[in-house]
């Protein structure tokens, strides 16, 4: 789903305060778990800090209630990240980033994802793959631990996403693959909690806040075009080449490929994957028109928490070209 609006957070926190809740359980996808994080803060006894003062990195001063997170989608990794994203105005998403948002316990049960329709499993799975890719290529804070988590996440996700989507809703044949997807999503969440995401997310956010496109699908729509943009830089080409054997070893074959060839195969793989999984592949399919590109690009450039993490600098005209390529 798109990032939840702030009024939903305030309503849930009000209910928690009214019932004198002594703990919070987030059960659902990323939006549900993000709301749970903020409710655990806002409903904590003695919390006087307003939500508006929490936005940004490291601005939370309040203690929180005990928090347990139980994901029912294999996508956001929100159960292990110190981040909550909400919609604060039309076209605008803001994030709270703080260690206080990390849960006391995260419960992973692949059976809880069995009711996901294939198109939702596909979109949330690609979302998780974006987390792994952007963590691995992050310009800031990339480190050996985040690299290890990102590579293992991409391996689990890449090997199982097609099986999960082919198995269909509620099919037991996909149980093992669903568990692997959920673990891969968790690893990807841990990876980007340490090495933050970048331009795919920055350009995806305005699609969710303006056109109400679900977050996973927004990332899926932007991923191929941001990869193509980034691959024209030496840094990204080298990193994509390192990841390529994980998801497209068959295309690369036994022979050693140059970094450019391997990176090209990596970009091509993710250009084909959404269509292979039955997802929309153009912005027009979700209601975006040529006339919207200027405002989308302007909103994307406001994502100053994310854009500095990209392996290639993104300017306003770059964002416009990327959106136009995705149209």
What is the three-state SS of the chain? CCCCEHHHHHHHHHHHHHCCCCCEEEEECHHHHHHHHHHHHHCCCCCCCCHHHCCEECCCCCCCCCEEEEECCCCCCHHHCCEEEEEEECCEEEEEECHHHCCCEECCCHHHHCCCCHHHHHHHHHHHHHHHHHHHCCCCCCCHHHHHHHHHHHHHHHHHHHHHHHHCCCCHHHHHHHHHHHHHHHHHHHHHHHCCCCHHHHHHHHHHHHHCCCHHHHHHHHHHHHHHHHCCCHHHHHHHHHHHHHHHHHHHCCCCCCHHHHHHHHHHHHHHHHHHCCCCCCHHHHCCCHHHHHHHHHHHCCCCCCHHHCCCCCCHHHHHHHHHHHC
Q: Check residue 234 and give its pLDDT.
A: 95
Residue 173 has pLDDT above 60, yes or no: no
Residue 325 has pLDDT above 90, yes or no: yes
In the chain, the percentage of residues whose pLDDT exceeds 70 is 96
Q: Check residue 163 and give its pLDDT.
A: 92
Give the model confidence (pLDDT) of 4-48 as tens digits.
889 999 999 999 999 999 999 999 999 999 999 999 999 999 899
Report residue 91's pLDDT band, with 50, 70 and 90 as the boundaries: low
DSSP letters of 289-313? -GGGHHHHHHHHTT-TTTGGGSSS-
What predicted TM-score, i.e. pTM, was given to this entire model? 0.91
Across the range 299-316, mean pLDDT stands at: 96
Give the model confidence (pLDDT) of 206-246 as tens digits.
999 889 999 999 999 999 999 999 999 999 999 999 999 99
Closest CA to 280 of 212, 221, 204: 221
Residue 170 has pLDDT above 80, yes or no: no
Which residues have a Cβ under 8 Å from the Cβ of 231 and sit 6 or more positions away?
237, 240, 263, 264, 266, 267
Residue with tokens 């994080």: 37
Contact 136, 191 (CB under 8 A): yes
Give the model confidence (pLDDT) of 250-265 as tens digits.
777 665 678 999 999 9
């Amino acid at each position: 789903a798109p990032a939840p609006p702030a009024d939903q957070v305030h309503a849930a926190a009000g209910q928690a305060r009214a019932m004198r809740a002594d703990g919070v359980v987030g059960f659902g996808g990323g939006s549900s778990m993000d709301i749970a994080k903020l409710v655990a803060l806002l409903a904590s006894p003695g919390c006087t800090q307003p939500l508006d003062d929490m936005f940004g990195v490291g601005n939370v001063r309040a203690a929180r209630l005990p928090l347990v997170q139980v994901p029912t989608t294999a996508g956001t990794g929100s159960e292990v990240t110190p981040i909550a994203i909400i919609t604060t105005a039309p076209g605008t998403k803001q994030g709270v980033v703080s260690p206080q948002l990390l849960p006391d316990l995260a419960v992973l049960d692949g059976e809880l994802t069995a009711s996901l329709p294939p198109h939702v499993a596909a979109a949330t799975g690609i979302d998780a793959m974006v987390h792994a890719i952007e963590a691995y290529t992050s310009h800031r804070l990339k480190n050996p631990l985040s690299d290890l988590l990102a590579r293992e996440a991409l391996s689990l996700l890449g090997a199982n996403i097609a099986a999960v989507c082919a198995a269909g809703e509620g099919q037991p044949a996909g149980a093992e693959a669903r568990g692997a997807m959920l673990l891969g999503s968790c690893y990807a969440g841990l990876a980007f909690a340490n090495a933050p995401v970048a331009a795919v997310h920055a350009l995806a956010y305005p699609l969710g806040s303006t056109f109400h496109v679900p977050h996973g699908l927004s990332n899926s729509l932007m991923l191929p075009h941001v990869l193509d943009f980034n691959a024209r830089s030496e840094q990204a080409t080298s990193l994509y080449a390192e990841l390529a054997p994980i998801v497209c070893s068959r295309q690369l074959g036994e022979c050693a490929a140059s970094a450019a060839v391997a990176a090209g195969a990596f970009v091509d793989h993710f250009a084909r994957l959404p269509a292979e999984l039955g997802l929309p592949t153009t912005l027009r399919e979700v209601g975006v028109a040529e006339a919207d590109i200027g405002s989308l690009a302007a909103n994307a450039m406001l994502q100053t928490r994310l854009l500095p993490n990209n392996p290639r600098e993104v300017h306003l005209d770059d964002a416009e070209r990327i959106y136009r390529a995705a149209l």
